[in-house]
Amino acid sequence: MGSILESSTIENEEIETQYLQKGVRHLCERGLTRVPSKYILPINERPNLGDTRVNAGNLNLKLPVIDFTQFQGSDRCQAIHSLEKACREFGFFQLINHGIKDDVILRMVNVSRRFFELPFDERAKYMSKDMASPARYGTSFNQSNDKVFCWRDFLKLSCQPLEDTVPCWPSSPEDLREAVVNYSKSTNFLYLMLMEAILESLGLEETTESAERKSRSIEEFEDGSQLIVANCYPACPEPDLTLGMPPHSDYGLLTLLLQDEVEGLQIQHEGRWVTVEPLPNSFVVNVGDHLEIFSNGRYKSVLHRVLVNSCKSRISVASLHSLPFNSMVRPSPKLIDQANPLRYKDTDFATFLRFVSSHDMNAKTFLESRKLTS
């Protein structure tokens, strides 16, 4: 270990696992010039290599674009139809005219970037193996189980209830808590409006043109869980050998992703990896495993991954939403009939935590474990 500290360049063979677990930014700050072996994927899992049908990548995809303002007026019926088609055919869409103030978004991105720029000792205060911790700094995807690490550091902040979790969040940068609270409230309101529209798209609510009405069905989602994840993908000296995040689906109902202007997100669509073009002033919204379960398979969570690049670090912020942590997620009884039998077991967040603590979370392994065999 002494040679690591004394050398201006870190060589692969000199890096021990305990050193790698300090995070990608820490490695880069120590003078990394090659990708350590712990981060090098098998050839068939690397971006742009391997099976051309699945890993062709690099083709750009314009996701369906949903205009949020259309949910609030006479175009609501058409917007609901577009939402249903996007969730059924893509599992992803881009949301524009969402109403969240530019200042709220810019402050969230800025404070995330400044957190990752803090000295390592300051970031390390929030390192924890407890996946239920209200504030957790870490690296890779699931570093306790990952056979190969991914090129990412993260800060995960639980947001429900805010009065309990905020005091546990980092106090540096000094404006972090205020920025995240404002962002949390704004994205949670947006999530609830989207879920109300999704219930309509599934036929669980009647479509009306009134923006004033109060949906009874949406009440069960109002005090749900929210997890905000700030991701840092440092510039990588050999980006063809690794990934920022491996192929996976999100566990919740909906994820609202804020990307910067640098491409990185890919989704698996029609058998190949395609790059999502960043759309300014938009959110990328995707169906999670819980929504696939709730819809009894009508809407599918979709595999996605993150590329890294050699020129520029990327910051993204994901807001993951679902039912309260202690609630059971199950298919809606109204979506079960003789033609559409029950397809999934009930699940809850505790079951998810037990699963991820002992399994590799690549692909859709957790969701597969909840499917009923027939």
The three-class DSSP label of residue 84 is: helix
Answer yes or no: is 87 within a domain: yes
Answer yes or no: is 145 within a domain: yes
Do the beta carbons of residue 266 and residue 284 sit within 8 Å?
Answer: no
What is the share, in percent, of the chain residues with pLDDT greater than 70? 86
Work out how many domains the chain is built from and give that number: 1
Number of residues written out for the chain = 374
The pLDDT confidence band at residue 9, using thresholds 50, 70 and 90, is very low
Answer yes or no: is 138 within a domain: yes
Average pLDDT over residues 139-151: 83
pLDDT score at 12: 47
Give the chain's mean pLDDT.
Answer: 86
CATH number at residue 91: 2.60.120.330
Answer yes or no: is 1 within a domain: no
User: Residue 17 corresponds to which amino acid?
Assistant: T
Residue range of the domain that includes 22: 14-54+61-370
pLDDT score at 358: 65
Where b means 16+ CB within 10 Å and e means fewer, 64-103 reads: eebebebbbeeebeebbebbbebbeebbbbbbeebebeee
For residue 268, is it left (φ>0), alpha (ψ between -120 and 50) or beta?
beta
pLDDT score at 151: 95
pLDDT score at 313: 92
Average pLDDT over residues 88-96: 96
User: Any bridge partners for residue 230, and if so which?
Assistant: 155, 317
Answer yes or no: is 48 within a domain: yes
Residue with the larger pLDDT of the pair 94 and 357: 94
Residue with the larger pLDDT of the pair 146 and 307: 307
Answer yes or no: is 200 within a domain: yes
Do the beta carbons of residue 155 and residue 170 sit within 8 Å?
Answer: yes
Do the beta carbons of residue 267 and residue 64 sit within 8 Å?
Answer: no
The pLDDT confidence band at residue 308, using thresholds 50, 70 and 90, is very high
**For the segment 252-269, what is each residue's pLDDT rounded down to a tens digit?**
999 999 998 888 999 999
CB within 8 Å of 174: residues ≥ 6 apart: none
pLDDT exceeds cutoff 70 at 318: yes
Q: Mean pLDDT lowest for which of 84-98, 110-124, 341-355?
A: 341-355
pLDDT score at 220: 81
Answer yes or no: is 9 within a domain: no
Answer yes or no: is 229 within a domain: yes
Average pLDDT over residues 135-164: 90
By the 10 Å C-beta count (0-12 exposed, 13-18 middle, 19+ buried), 157 is classed as buried
Do the beta carbons of residue 249 and residue 288 sit within 8 Å?
Answer: yes
pLDDT score at 212: 46
pLDDT score at 19: 61
pLDDT score at 131: 79
The pLDDT confidence band at residue 49, using thresholds 50, 70 and 90, is very low
pLDDT score at 140: 84
User: Any bridge partners for residue 347, and if so which?
Assistant: 329
pLDDT score at 317: 98
The pLDDT confidence band at residue 3, using thresholds 50, 70 and 90, is very low
The three-class DSSP label of residue 12 is: helix
Q: Mean pLDDT lowest for which of 34-38, 141-145, 259-263?
A: 141-145
pLDDT score at 8: 40
Average pLDDT over residues 319-329: 91
CB within 8 Å of 144: residues ≥ 6 apart: 129, 357
pLDDT exceeds cutoff 60 at 122: yes
**For the segment 165-208, what is each residue's pLDDT rounded down to a tens digit?**
999 999 999 999 999 999 999 999 999 999 999 999 999 976 55
The pLDDT confidence band at residue 373, using thresholds 50, 70 and 90, is low
Question: Which residue in the block uniquely carries the two structure tokens 């051309």?
Answer: 52
Highest mean predicted confidence (pLDDT) among 16-20, 31-35, 74-78, 80-84: 80-84
Secondary element (H or E) of residue 342: none
**The Cα angle at residue 14 between residues 11 and 19, in degrees rounded to 5:** 105
